[in-house]
Protein backbone atom coordinates (compact mmCIF):
# COMPACT_ATOMS: atom_id res chain seq x y z
CA UNK A 1 0.00 0.00 0.00
CA UNK A 2 2.91 2.39 0.82
CA UNK A 3 4.45 1.58 -2.57
CA UNK A 4 1.13 2.30 -4.28
CA UNK A 5 0.85 5.65 -2.45
CA UNK A 6 4.44 6.58 -3.43
CA UNK A 7 3.86 5.73 -7.11
CA UNK A 8 0.62 7.69 -7.27
CA UNK A 9 2.18 10.80 -5.77
CA UNK A 10 5.35 10.49 -7.85
CA UNK A 11 3.22 10.33 -11.00
CA UNK A 12 1.25 13.38 -9.88
CA UNK A 13 4.42 15.37 -9.24
CA UNK A 14 5.86 14.35 -12.62
CA UNK A 15 2.63 15.37 -14.40
CA UNK A 16 2.66 18.72 -12.60
CA UNK A 17 6.28 19.32 -13.63
CA UNK A 18 5.48 18.49 -17.25
CA UNK A 19 2.52 20.86 -17.23
CA UNK A 20 4.61 23.65 -15.73
CA UNK A 21 7.39 23.14 -18.25
CA UNK A 22 5.02 22.92 -21.19
CA UNK A 23 2.52 25.63 -20.34
CA UNK A 24 4.55 28.10 -18.36
CA UNK A 25 3.00 30.97 -16.52
CA UNK A 26 1.98 34.42 -17.60
CA UNK A 27 5.23 35.88 -16.22
CA UNK A 28 7.68 33.31 -17.56
CA UNK A 29 10.14 34.01 -20.37
CA UNK A 30 9.56 32.01 -23.53
CA UNK A 31 12.93 30.58 -24.54
CA UNK A 32 11.92 30.06 -28.18
CA UNK A 33 12.48 32.65 -30.87
CA UNK A 34 10.67 33.90 -33.96
CA UNK A 35 11.24 36.66 -36.51
CA UNK A 36 9.61 40.05 -36.98
CA UNK A 37 9.32 41.98 -40.24
CA UNK A 38 8.11 45.55 -39.81
CA UNK A 39 7.27 47.78 -42.77
CA UNK A 40 6.04 51.36 -43.01
CA UNK A 41 3.61 52.92 -45.49
CA UNK A 42 1.83 56.25 -45.83
CA UNK A 43 -1.61 57.71 -46.25
CA UNK A 44 -0.69 60.94 -48.03
CA UNK A 45 -1.31 64.60 -47.32
CA UNK A 46 -2.12 67.18 -50.01
CA UNK A 47 -0.24 70.18 -48.60
CA UNK A 48 3.31 68.85 -49.11
CA UNK A 49 5.80 67.73 -51.73
CA UNK A 50 7.84 65.58 -49.35
CA UNK A 51 7.62 64.56 -45.71
CA UNK A 52 10.84 63.13 -44.30
CA UNK A 53 10.88 61.26 -40.99
CA UNK A 54 14.21 60.08 -39.55
CA UNK A 55 14.27 56.99 -37.32
CA UNK A 56 17.34 56.01 -35.27
CA UNK A 57 15.83 52.83 -33.88
CA UNK A 58 12.85 51.27 -32.16
CA UNK A 59 11.76 49.67 -28.92
CA UNK A 60 9.48 46.69 -28.44
CA UNK A 61 8.12 45.52 -25.08
CA UNK A 62 7.37 41.86 -24.32
CA UNK A 63 4.39 41.04 -22.10
CA UNK A 64 6.81 39.68 -19.49
CA UNK A 65 8.27 43.19 -19.12
CA UNK A 66 11.42 42.64 -21.17
CA UNK A 67 12.22 45.74 -23.24
CA UNK A 68 14.27 45.29 -26.42
CA UNK A 69 15.89 48.38 -27.94
CA UNK A 70 17.20 48.19 -31.50
CA UNK A 71 19.44 50.77 -33.19
CA UNK A 72 20.25 51.57 -36.81
CA UNK A 73 24.04 51.50 -37.13
CA UNK A 74 26.63 51.75 -39.85
CA UNK A 75 27.77 48.32 -41.06
CA UNK A 76 31.37 47.81 -39.88
CA UNK A 77 32.15 45.85 -43.06
CA UNK A 78 30.50 48.29 -45.49
CA UNK A 79 29.94 51.90 -44.42
CA UNK A 80 27.32 52.36 -47.15
CA UNK A 81 25.02 49.85 -45.45
CA UNK A 82 22.90 49.93 -42.31
CA UNK A 83 22.57 47.12 -39.78
CA UNK A 84 20.19 46.65 -36.86
CA UNK A 85 21.94 46.32 -33.50
CA UNK A 86 20.57 45.38 -30.09
CA UNK A 87 23.36 47.44 -28.48
CA UNK A 88 24.21 51.12 -28.89
CA UNK A 89 26.15 51.61 -32.12
CA UNK A 90 29.85 50.69 -31.90
CA UNK A 91 30.26 52.32 -35.32
CA UNK A 92 28.56 55.52 -36.45
CA UNK A 93 24.79 55.75 -36.20
CA UNK A 94 23.04 55.29 -39.54
CA UNK A 95 19.45 56.46 -39.07
CA UNK A 96 16.80 55.63 -41.63
CA UNK A 97 15.40 58.77 -43.26
CA UNK A 98 12.23 57.95 -45.16
CA UNK A 99 10.21 60.18 -47.47
CA UNK A 100 6.76 59.01 -46.50
CA UNK A 101 5.14 60.69 -49.50
CA UNK A 102 7.00 58.21 -51.72
CA UNK A 103 5.14 55.34 -50.04
CA UNK A 104 1.57 55.85 -51.19
CA UNK A 105 -0.57 53.34 -53.05
CA UNK A 106 0.52 50.32 -51.03
CA UNK A 107 4.29 50.84 -51.32
CA UNK A 108 6.40 50.28 -48.21
CA UNK A 109 9.86 50.71 -46.75
CA UNK A 110 11.35 48.18 -44.33
CA UNK A 111 12.16 49.00 -40.71
CA UNK A 112 12.96 45.41 -39.69
CA UNK A 113 13.52 42.49 -42.04
CA UNK A 114 13.07 39.11 -40.37
CA UNK A 115 14.79 40.22 -37.16
CA UNK A 116 15.02 37.37 -34.64
CA UNK A 117 13.43 38.09 -31.24
CA UNK A 118 12.20 36.04 -28.28
CA UNK A 119 8.83 34.57 -29.21
CA UNK A 120 5.66 35.54 -27.42
CA UNK A 121 3.21 38.35 -26.86
CA UNK A 122 4.40 41.96 -27.17
CA UNK A 123 2.41 44.87 -25.75
CA UNK A 124 3.73 47.77 -27.82
CA UNK A 125 6.27 49.11 -30.29
CA UNK A 126 7.87 52.56 -30.15
CA UNK A 127 9.60 54.17 -33.13
CA UNK A 128 12.47 56.43 -32.06
CA UNK A 129 12.41 59.60 -34.17
CA UNK A 130 15.04 62.31 -34.65
CA UNK A 131 13.70 65.88 -34.53
CA UNK A 132 16.63 67.80 -33.01
CA UNK A 133 18.18 68.96 -36.28
CA UNK A 134 16.56 71.15 -38.92
CA UNK A 135 16.78 68.42 -41.54
CA UNK A 136 16.25 65.34 -39.39
CA UNK A 137 12.48 65.21 -39.79
CA UNK A 138 10.92 67.92 -41.96
CA UNK A 139 8.26 68.81 -44.49
CA UNK A 140 8.69 70.38 -47.94
CA UNK A 141 5.55 72.34 -48.79
CA UNK A 142 4.04 73.21 -52.16
CA UNK A 143 6.20 76.31 -52.77
CA UNK A 144 9.41 74.36 -52.09
CA UNK A 145 10.11 75.79 -48.63
CA UNK A 146 10.97 73.31 -45.89
CA UNK A 147 10.02 73.36 -42.23
CA UNK A 148 11.09 71.33 -39.24
CA UNK A 149 8.49 68.87 -37.96
CA UNK A 150 8.00 69.23 -34.22
CA UNK A 151 6.51 66.50 -32.06
CA UNK A 152 4.62 68.30 -29.25
CA UNK A 153 5.17 65.55 -26.68
CA UNK A 154 8.94 65.52 -27.26
CA UNK A 155 11.05 63.28 -29.46
CA UNK A 156 12.46 61.41 -26.46
CA UNK A 157 9.19 59.49 -26.15
CA UNK A 158 9.11 58.45 -29.80
CA UNK A 159 6.05 57.31 -31.70
CA UNK A 160 4.26 54.59 -29.77
CA UNK A 161 1.97 51.94 -31.25
CA UNK A 162 -0.13 50.46 -28.46
CA UNK A 163 -1.47 47.53 -30.47
CA UNK A 164 -0.10 44.18 -29.27
CA UNK A 165 1.49 41.60 -31.57
CA UNK A 166 2.47 37.93 -31.30
CA UNK A 167 5.69 36.37 -32.57
CA UNK A 168 5.29 32.57 -32.85
CA UNK A 169 7.99 30.13 -31.75
CA UNK A 170 9.96 29.12 -34.85
CA UNK A 171 7.71 31.27 -37.04
CA UNK A 172 7.45 34.81 -38.32
CA UNK A 173 5.29 37.88 -37.89
CA UNK A 174 4.87 40.49 -40.63
CA UNK A 175 3.26 43.86 -39.89
CA UNK A 176 2.91 47.20 -41.65
CA UNK A 177 2.68 50.60 -39.94
CA UNK A 178 0.32 52.96 -41.76
CA UNK A 179 1.58 56.48 -41.04
CA UNK A 180 -1.43 58.63 -41.87
CA UNK A 181 0.04 62.04 -42.75
CA UNK A 182 -3.37 63.52 -43.53
CA UNK A 183 -4.23 63.04 -39.84
CA UNK A 184 -0.74 63.66 -38.46
CA UNK A 185 0.61 66.91 -39.95
CA UNK A 186 -0.79 70.11 -38.44
CA UNK A 187 0.12 73.58 -39.72
CA UNK A 188 0.03 76.32 -37.08
CA UNK A 189 -0.66 79.97 -37.79
CA UNK A 190 2.93 80.86 -36.87
CA UNK A 191 4.65 78.93 -39.66
CA UNK A 192 5.28 75.82 -37.57
CA UNK A 193 4.38 72.27 -38.55
CA UNK A 194 3.47 69.89 -35.76
CA UNK A 195 3.60 66.11 -36.06
CA UNK A 196 0.87 64.48 -34.01
CA UNK A 197 1.33 60.99 -35.39
CA UNK A 198 -1.63 58.77 -36.17
CA UNK A 199 -0.24 55.28 -36.65
CA UNK A 200 -2.11 52.10 -37.52
CA UNK A 201 -0.54 48.65 -37.30
CA UNK A 202 -1.82 46.01 -39.74
CA UNK A 203 -1.10 42.28 -39.69
CA UNK A 204 -0.10 41.57 -43.30
CA UNK A 205 -1.34 37.97 -43.10
CA UNK A 206 -4.86 39.29 -42.44
CA UNK A 207 -4.83 42.36 -44.67
CA UNK A 208 -6.30 43.13 -48.07
CA UNK A 209 -6.71 46.14 -50.36
CA UNK A 210 -9.48 48.26 -51.86
CA UNK A 211 -8.57 49.83 -55.20
CA UNK A 212 -10.20 51.16 -58.32
CA UNK A 213 -10.83 54.19 -60.51
CA UNK A 214 -12.68 57.48 -60.12
CA UNK A 215 -14.80 58.84 -62.97
CA UNK A 216 -13.18 62.02 -64.37
CA UNK A 217 -16.53 63.81 -63.99
CA UNK A 218 -15.98 63.52 -60.22
CA UNK A 219 -12.60 65.24 -60.51
CA UNK A 220 -13.39 68.73 -61.87
CA UNK A 221 -10.94 71.63 -62.00
CA UNK A 222 -9.79 72.65 -58.54
CA UNK A 223 -10.58 69.23 -57.07
CA UNK A 224 -8.15 67.62 -54.61
CA UNK A 225 -9.53 64.09 -54.68
CA UNK A 226 -9.15 61.40 -52.05
CA UNK A 227 -10.94 58.25 -50.92
CA UNK A 228 -11.72 57.99 -47.21
CA UNK A 229 -12.07 54.51 -45.67
CA UNK A 230 -14.26 53.91 -42.61
CA UNK A 231 -14.55 50.70 -40.58
CA UNK A 232 -17.98 49.11 -40.92
CA UNK A 233 -20.81 48.98 -43.45
CA UNK A 234 -23.20 51.84 -44.12
CA UNK A 235 -21.18 54.51 -42.28
CA UNK A 236 -22.07 58.13 -42.98
CA UNK A 237 -18.68 59.57 -43.99
CA UNK A 238 -17.21 62.53 -42.16
CA UNK A 239 -14.03 64.60 -42.11
CA UNK A 240 -10.90 63.89 -40.08
CA UNK A 241 -11.41 65.51 -36.70
CA UNK A 242 -10.81 62.82 -34.08
CA UNK A 243 -14.55 62.34 -33.57
CA UNK A 244 -16.31 59.11 -34.53
CA UNK A 245 -16.64 58.24 -37.34
CA UNK A 246 -13.06 59.00 -38.27
CA UNK A 247 -11.56 57.27 -41.32
CA UNK A 248 -9.24 54.37 -40.56
CA UNK A 249 -7.12 55.51 -43.52
CA UNK A 250 -7.29 57.65 -46.65
CA UNK A 251 -5.99 57.18 -50.19
CA UNK A 252 -4.96 59.85 -52.66
CA UNK A 253 -6.45 59.73 -56.16
CA UNK A 254 -3.71 59.94 -58.80
CA UNK A 255 -3.65 59.93 -62.61
CA UNK A 256 -2.20 56.68 -63.93
CA UNK A 257 0.67 57.57 -66.30
CA UNK A 258 -0.16 54.67 -68.63
CA UNK A 259 -3.97 54.53 -68.77
CA UNK A 260 -4.67 58.18 -67.94
CA UNK A 261 -7.31 57.04 -65.44
CA UNK A 262 -7.80 58.45 -61.96
CA UNK A 263 -6.84 55.64 -59.58
CA UNK A 264 -6.76 55.06 -55.82
CA UNK A 265 -5.33 52.27 -53.67
CA UNK A 266 -6.17 51.81 -49.98
CA UNK A 267 -3.92 49.01 -48.71
CA UNK A 268 -3.24 47.09 -45.49
CA UNK A 269 -6.88 46.86 -44.39
CA UNK A 270 -7.62 43.92 -42.14
CA UNK A 271 -10.48 41.72 -43.35
CA UNK A 272 -13.99 43.05 -42.78
CA UNK A 273 -16.60 45.49 -44.07
CA UNK A 274 -15.66 49.07 -44.86
CA UNK A 275 -17.41 52.19 -46.10
CA UNK A 276 -15.43 54.06 -48.75
CA UNK A 277 -16.22 57.61 -49.83
CA UNK A 278 -14.81 59.97 -52.46
CA UNK A 279 -14.32 63.69 -51.83
CA UNK A 280 -12.91 66.59 -53.84
CA UNK A 281 -12.08 68.59 -50.72
CA UNK A 282 -9.22 66.62 -49.20
CA UNK A 283 -6.88 69.64 -49.19
CA UNK A 284 -9.17 71.65 -46.90
CA UNK A 285 -9.66 68.88 -44.34
CA UNK A 286 -7.93 70.24 -41.23
CA UNK A 287 -7.60 67.44 -38.63
CA UNK A 288 -7.83 70.00 -35.83
CA UNK A 289 -11.22 71.32 -37.02
CA UNK A 290 -14.65 69.83 -37.71
CA UNK A 291 -14.91 70.60 -41.45
CA UNK A 292 -18.11 70.27 -43.47
CA UNK A 293 -16.60 68.01 -46.13
CA UNK A 294 -18.75 67.00 -49.11
CA UNK A 295 -18.51 63.38 -50.29
CA UNK A 296 -19.64 62.81 -53.88
CA UNK A 297 -19.88 58.99 -53.79
CA UNK A 298 -20.12 56.37 -51.04
CA UNK A 299 -20.10 52.56 -51.09
CA UNK A 300 -19.75 49.56 -48.76
CA UNK A 301 -17.13 46.97 -49.66
CA UNK A 302 -15.96 43.70 -48.12
CA UNK A 303 -12.22 43.25 -47.72
CA UNK A 304 -10.67 39.78 -47.63
CA UNK A 305 -7.14 38.86 -46.58
CA UNK A 306 -4.52 38.90 -49.34
CA UNK A 307 -7.14 40.04 -51.87
CA UNK A 308 -7.72 43.23 -53.88
CA UNK A 309 -11.35 44.33 -53.75
CA UNK A 310 -12.14 46.51 -56.76
CA UNK A 311 -14.61 49.37 -56.56
CA UNK A 312 -14.88 52.07 -59.21
CA UNK A 313 -16.50 55.39 -58.34
**pLDDT above 50 (res 244):** yes
How many whole angstroms separate alpha carbon 154 and alpha carbon 174? 29
* Tens of pLDDT, residues 193-207: 888 878 899 999 999
Confidence at residue 153, expressed as pLDDT on a 0 to 100 scale: 61
> Which range has the worst mean pLDDT, 77-86, 182-191, 197-206, 268-277?
182-191
How many whole angstroms separate alpha carbon 311 and alpha carbon 210? 7
First to last CA, the chain: 82
**pLDDT above 90 (res 12):** no
**pLDDT above 50 (res 15):** no
**What's the mean per-residue pLDDT of the chain?**
87
Tell me if the pTM is above 0.75: yes
Confidence at residue 180, expressed as pLDDT on a 0 to 100 scale: 84
Confidence at residue 25, expressed as pLDDT on a 0 to 100 scale: 38
What is the per-residue DSSP string for the chain?
-HHHHHHHHHHHHHHHHHHHHHH--TTSPP--EEEEEEEEEEE--TTEEEEEEEEEEEEEEETTS-EEEEEEEE-SS-TTSEEEESSS-SS-B--EEEEGGGG-TT--EEEEEEEEEE-EEEEEEEEEEE-SSTTTSEEEETTS-EEEEE-TT-GGG-EEE---EEE-TTSEEEEEEEEEHHHHEEE-TTS-EEE---EEEEEGGGEEEEEEEE-GGGS-TT-B-EEEEEESTT-----SSSSSS--SEEEE-EE-TTT--EEEEEEEEESEEEEEEEESBGGG--TTS-----EEEEEEEEE-TT-EEE---
How many whole angstroms separate alpha carbon 78 and alpha carbon 48? 34
Residue in 116, 99, 298, 108 with CA at minimum distance from that of residue 207 = 108
**pLDDT above 50 (res 8):** no
| Stronger pLDDT, 173 or 135, i.e. the higher one | 173
> Which range has the worst mean pLDDT, 7-11, 84-88, 92-96, 273-277?
7-11
Domain boundaries, the chain: 32-197, 207-313
Query: Which one of 29-33, 70-74, 152-156, 290-294 scores highest in mean pLDDT?
Result: 70-74
Confidence at residue 220, expressed as pLDDT on a 0 to 100 scale: 95
**pLDDT above 70 (res 11):** no
Q: Work out the average pLDDT over 145-168.
A: 82
**pLDDT above 90 (res 73):** yes
For residue 295, the cross-strand partners are: 279
Structure confidence at residue 4 as a pLDDT band (50, 70, 90): very low
Share of residues in the chain with pLDDT > 90 (%): 65
| Stronger pLDDT, 112 or 9, i.e. the higher one | 112
CB-based contact 159:59 (threshold 8 Å): no
* Tens of pLDDT, residues 78-132: 999 999 999 999 999 999 999 998 898 889 999 999 999 999 999 999 999 987 7
Task: Name, in order, each residue with C-beta under 8 angstroms of 153's C-beta and a sequence gap of 6 or more.
Answer: none
Topology adopted by domain 207-313: Immunoglobulin-like (2.60.40)
Amino acid sequence: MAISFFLKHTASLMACAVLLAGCGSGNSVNTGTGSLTLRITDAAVDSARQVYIQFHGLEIQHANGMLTTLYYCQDAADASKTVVSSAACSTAAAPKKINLLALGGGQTDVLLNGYVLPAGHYNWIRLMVDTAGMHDSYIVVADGADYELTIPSGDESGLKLNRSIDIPVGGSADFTIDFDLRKSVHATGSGQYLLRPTLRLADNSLAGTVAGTVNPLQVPAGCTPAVYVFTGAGITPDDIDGITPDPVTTASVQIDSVSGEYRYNAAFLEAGDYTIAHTCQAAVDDPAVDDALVFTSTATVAVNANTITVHNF
